[in-house]
Amino acid sequence: MTSDSAAPSKAPAIARAAAILRLLGRSEAPLGVNAIARELDLVPSTCLYLLRALAEEELVGFDPATKRYTLAAGVLTLARGWLKRDRFADLAQPLLDRVATEHGLTMLGVQVVGLQHMIVVAKALGTGNFQLNAEVGSRFPALISATGRCVAAFGGHDPEVLRRRFSGLRWEAPPTFDHWRDEVARTRQTGYAVDEGNYIAGVTVVAAPVFRSPGQLSHALAAVGLGSAVRRGGLEQLAGAVAGAARSLSERLSGA
């Protein structure tokens, strides 16, 4: 479904519009039609029509004076709609806070969306002098780092698809596929995953899966910290805390 396969979308305007919105979201400054079209390999006229339609929907803003486009507040309305119904963030926050303070590390709650990305939906910063940070809304490749090993272990995906996607990942210190597969297998047994500097050098990530219903992976919890700090605090202990919190969350999510 979310494959990289050839299946051509029956509504390509959507993909283009989403690309425009993301580009505007990541851009520091307002952009003109041609700049957007060039960046996204779109035809300027098509790009213009899409921008006008998006502006009509109040998802992008248009400054007639400078003829530049930006994101508009309409995206806030959508985000609010999502937040209103999301129970995960509410349930996860106290658990994230507790683990973050007890272990002095930054904790993230991420949502898994298909095999493409995971998105940070909740966070709790640690207490140390120096803390890693990631904004709510940030996207990461679904199979990267420790959370990615959880997705691979519990997502119920075709091993062949995993192999293909694995080859497209960008790590700072890439593991070999065989080594990664072994770690994924271990994750399936222990219920948590560890990434020691593979994704980002010097950064250790410990993650555990959260299921919205038995067998249905939907989120993951992740502790991120500098490798030295994690080792000092005891990696095993941390892994136990993260996995415990994730289990507790899974129960509450599938429960009521």
**Contacting positions for DNA (CB under 7 A):** 8-13, 16, 32-35, 42-46, 48-50, 66-68
- Give whichever of 54 and 151 is closer to a second copy, judged by the CB atom: 54
Residues 52 and 62: their CA atoms lie apart, in Å, by: 9
From DNA, a second copy, none, interface partner of 32 (C-beta below 5 to 8 A by class) = DNA
Closest CA to 119 of 70, 69, 64, 82: 82
Contact mark string toward a second copy, 197..216, x via CB under 8 A: -------------------x
Residues 107 and 129: their CA atoms lie apart, in Å, by: 15
From a second copy, DNA, none, interface partner of 139 (C-beta below 5 to 8 A by class) = a second copy
The least CB distance from residue 7 to DNA, in Å, is 9
Residue 229: strand, helix, or coil: helix
CB 253 within 8 A of CB 212: yes
Amino acid at 93: Q
- Give whichever of 1 and 236 is closer to DNA, judged by the CB atom: 1
Beta partners for 119?
111, 139
CB 33 within 8 A of CB 69: yes
Amino acid at 64: P
For residue 36, count other CB atoms closer than 10 A to its CB: 23
Binder to a second copy among 44, 93, 101, 117 (CB under 8 A)? 117
Tell me which residues in 143-202 interact with a second copy (CB under 8 A): none
For the record, the structure tokens of 50 come out as 């899409």
Tell me which residues in 34-63 interact with a second copy (CB under 8 A): 49-50, 52-59, 61-62
Residues within the interface to a second copy (CB under 8 A): 1-3, 9-15, 17-18, 21-22, 24-26, 28, 49-50, 52-59, 61-62, 65, 70-86, 111, 113-114, 116-117, 119, 121, 135-139, 216
